[in-house]
């Protein structure tokens, strides 16, 4: 199997902190160079990690995650968790990760839910009536952004899809869809936003649908009822869009940053769009790379997993 990636040169590795060249070559997966954690720490000043599929899955930590974060903390290394999860505030997420045995505090976590505040400010949504499909923390993100959270059965001006679980999904989704149709039929505009564009996520031994799939479902219903309304689309805030990477770069204060993620469409594509090198780790959603993968999705490096990455030598 072959795929399009941005080449490192004629069989050579990128220099310390350098991004891949812009020349497109077709390489087999095996020719994307492997890298170890030691080599990453030598080449980069800061590391960004996706959460699910890299450090954790739905029911616990992945092998090597606790040891790696303990090492980074002990050595005073700069790193952040950059996650599309908008169902948990950073403090809630940190508490959950700590129950999984990960030595991680809330200040290390950047979520797509945190993007709602600047989005609301930029689009004049503060004070608007907002229906939120998601658990309590999703609603708190909206409230902290300045929205007035109302029932999905009521008339609303903003629909936020925060998550796919943690609430009576079918009842709330049906109520939101019906209210949305009523508003559109009456000529009242509704702003549609989904912080987390992910379609699926890795669980313990399986996979689940994520918030992006719910947004797609609503868009399908809207297209069926209003076939000529091409404007009825959700704004997608999180990875692969660059604002969350830009926030991370401001926090680390260096441009020598690498992203470690499991999804080509979100983690790798987003990092590359933000001008960062990216490591594809094979423990999550993306298990292989199609031969027609476009160049902008090409990872700079690859890892089999956190434990394997710590044991292998740089290829």
DSSP classification of residue 34? B
The count of structural domains within the chain is 2
Residues 150 and 207 in one domain: yes
Residues 288 and 306 in one domain: yes
CA distances, 242 to each of 245, 247, 282, 293 (Å)? 5, 9, 23, 20
Residue 43's pLDDT is what? 96
Structural domain ending residue among the three candidates 210, 236, 262: 236
Residues 137 and 196 in one domain: yes
Does the residue 181 lie in any domain? yes
Nearest-angstrom CA–CA distance, 149 and 140: 9
The sheet carrying 148-150 orders its strands as 148-150, 129-133, 158-161, 191-194, 235-236
Residue 310's pLDDT is what? 41
Q: Is the peptide bond before 55 cis (omega within 30 degrees of 0)?
A: no
Q: By residue range, what is the domain housing residue 261?
A: 2-84+242-311
109 SS3 class: strand
Query: Do 19 and 229 contact (CB within 8 A), yes or no?
Result: no
Tokens of 259: 């992203």
Does the residue 228 lie in any domain? yes
Residues 26 and 51 in one domain: yes
Does the residue 93 lie in any domain? no
Residue 15's pLDDT is what? 45
Residues 133 and 222 in one domain: yes
Residue 287's pLDDT is what? 66
Tokens of 1: 């199997």
Nearest to 286 by CA among 257, 255, 314, 261: 261
Contacts of 178 (CB under 8 A, 6+ apart): 153
Does the residue 109 lie in any domain? no
Nearest-angstrom CA–CA distance, 177 and 183: 10
Does the residue 100 lie in any domain? no
Structural domain ending residue among the three candidates 205, 236, 267: 236
Residues 129 and 211 in one domain: yes
Q: What is the CA radius of gyration of the chain?
A: 20
CA distances, 53 to each of 50, 83, 183 (Å)? 7, 11, 39
Single pTM value for the model: 0.85
Nearest to 281 by CA among 311, 257, 301: 301
Residues 169 and 121 in one domain: yes
- Please report, for the domain that includes residue 40, its CATH number: 3.40.50.1000
Residues 58 and 11 in one domain: yes
Does the residue 97 lie in any domain? no
Residues 216 and 121 in one domain: yes
Instruction: At 133, give phi and psi (nearest 5°).
Output: -95, 105
Residues 217 and 128 in one domain: yes
Does the residue 50 lie in any domain? yes
Query: Do 87 and 163 contact (CB within 8 A), yes or no?
Result: yes
SS3 string of 194-232? ECCCCCEEEECCEEEECHHHHHHHHHHHHHHHCCCCCCC
Q: What is the helix (H) or strand (E) element at residue 178, kind and residue range?
A: helix 169-185
Residues in the chain with pLDDT < 50? 1-28, 309-315
Does the residue 150 lie in any domain? yes
Query: Do 278 and 299 contact (CB within 8 A), yes or no?
Result: yes
Residue 304's pLDDT is what? 84
Tokens of 262: 């499991």
Angle, to 10 degrees, between the axis of helix 169-185 and the axis of helix 211-225?
A: 40
Residue 258 CA from chain centroid, whole number? 15
Residues 71 and 7 in one domain: yes
Structural domain ending residue among the three candidates 236, 263, 294: 236
Residues 230 and 262 in one domain: no
Contacts of 81 (CB under 8 A, 6+ apart): 48, 49, 50, 51, 55, 93, 104, 108, 109, 110
Nearest-angstrom CA–CA distance, 179 and 156: 8
């Amino acid at each position: 199997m072959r795929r399009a990636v941005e080449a490192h040169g004629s069989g050579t590795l990128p220099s310390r902190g350098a991004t891949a060249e812009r020349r497109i070559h077709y390489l087999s997966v095996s020719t994307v160079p492997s890298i170890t954690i030691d080599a990453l720490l030598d080449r980069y000043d800061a590391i960004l990690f996706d959460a699910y599929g890299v450090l954790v899955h739905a029911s616990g930590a992945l092998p090597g995650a606790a040891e790696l974060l303990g090492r980074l903390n002990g050595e005073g290394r700069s790193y952040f968790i950059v996650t599309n999860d908008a169902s948990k505030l950073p403090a809630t997420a940190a508490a959950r990760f700590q129950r999984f045995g990960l030595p991680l505090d809330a200040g290390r976590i950047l979520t797509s839910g945190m993007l709602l505040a600047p989005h609301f400010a930029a689009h004049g949504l503060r004070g608007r009536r907002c229906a939120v499909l998601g658990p309590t923390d999703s609603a708190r993100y909206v409230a902290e952004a300045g929205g007035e959270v109302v029932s999905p059965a009521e008339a609303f001006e903003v629909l936020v899809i925060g998550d796919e679980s943690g609430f009576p999904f079918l009842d709330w989704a049906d109520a939101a869809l019906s209210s949305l149709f009523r508003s559109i039929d009456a000529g009242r505009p509704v702003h549609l936003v989904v912080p987390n564009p992910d379609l699926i996520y890795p669980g313990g031994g399986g996979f689940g649908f994520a918030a992006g799939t719910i947004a797609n479902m609503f868009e399908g219903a809207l297209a069926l009822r209003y076939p000529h309304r091409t404007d009825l689309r959700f704004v997608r805030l999180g990875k692969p869009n660059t604002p969350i990477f830009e926030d991370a770069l401001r926090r680390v204060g260096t441009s020598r940053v690498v992203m470690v993620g499991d999804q080509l469409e979100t983690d790798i594509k987003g990092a590359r769009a933000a001008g960062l090198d990216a490591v594809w780790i094979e423990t999550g959603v993306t298990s292989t790379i199609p031969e027609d993968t476009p160049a902008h999705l090409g990872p700079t490096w690859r890892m089999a997993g956190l434990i394997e990455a710590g044991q292998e030598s740089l290829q």
